[in-house]
Amino acid sequence: MPSVSSPLRTAMAGCGLIAILRGIRPDEAEAVGEALYGAGFRIIEVPLNSPEPLTSIRNLRQALPLDCMIGAGTVLDPSACAEIAKAGGEIVVMPHGDPQVIRAAKAAGLAASPGVATPTEAYAALAAGADVLKMFPAEQLGPAVLKAWRAVIPNDVPLVPVGGITPQRIAEYAQAGASGFGLGSALYKPGMDAAEVAERARAFVAAWRDAYPSTEPQS
C-alpha cells in the first residue's frame, strides 16, 4: 500500500474504504460511525455541507478508537481547516485542487486529499503538499484512465476514485491501480439507520478483501 504519512498510511493499509456521510446529523453520527467501524472501516468523512458538520466530526472523534481517522469533506475555504482540526478532524477532503486549501490543511496538521481530474491537476496538488489524490468524478475517469495515470504517477502516491463506486466495481478499479475508494450514496444516504449502513458497509468490506487479499483489518 502507499507510503503516505502515518496514521493515514496505517488506516489505508488495513482498509482503504472511505465513508462519505453527506447529510448526516450530529445525533446520528455516533451510531453510524460505530456501525462503520464494526464493519471494518477506518476512515470516515463528514462533508461540510451536512447539518452541523463540525459537531458530527467532534462526536465521531469522541466515540471511535484513535485508529479510525475522521475527516471533513467538501472543504472549499482555507480558513475552515483550523476549525476542522479544532473539532478533532484529521483529514481535509476537497472536490477540487485549490493549493491554498491544501497548504492550509497541512499548516493545521491535517492530511490533504484534493480532487483531481487530470495529470496536470494531480501533479499540481502533489506540489502543494497533497497526501492522497481523489480521482473525481470516478464515473467519468474510469479504470482505463486510472491505469494510464498509474504509468506516470508514482506507485507510492495513493489514487482514490470517488463517485459511483459500488461493491461490484471495486475489483476492476483495484486491477487498474486504485489505492482506496471514497463511498457516498451507495453506502450512506440521509435517513438511513445504523443497521442499514452496517449491512452496506459489510458488502463493501467483503469486496475490498476480495480485491486486496493481502490487507488485514486494523485492531
**Cβ(20)–Cβ(73) below 8 Å:** yes
* Cβ atoms 126, 108 nearer than 8 A: no
Q: Which of 28, 30, 45, 189 is catalytic?
A: 45
Report residue 15 as a C-alpha cell. Answer: 482498509
DSSP 167: G
What would the grid cell of residue 172 be?
476492476
- SS3 at position 1: coil
Single out the catalytic residue among 121, 134, 189, 216.
Answer: 134
β-partners of residue 133 are: 159
- Catalytic status, residue 106: no
| H-type alpha helices, the chain | 8-14, 26-39, 53-63, 80-86, 99-107, 119-128, 138-150, 170-176, 194-211
34 among known catalytic residues: no
Which of 199, 171, 201 has the alpha carbon at shortest distance from 184?
201
Q: List residues with catalytic annotation.
A: 45, 134
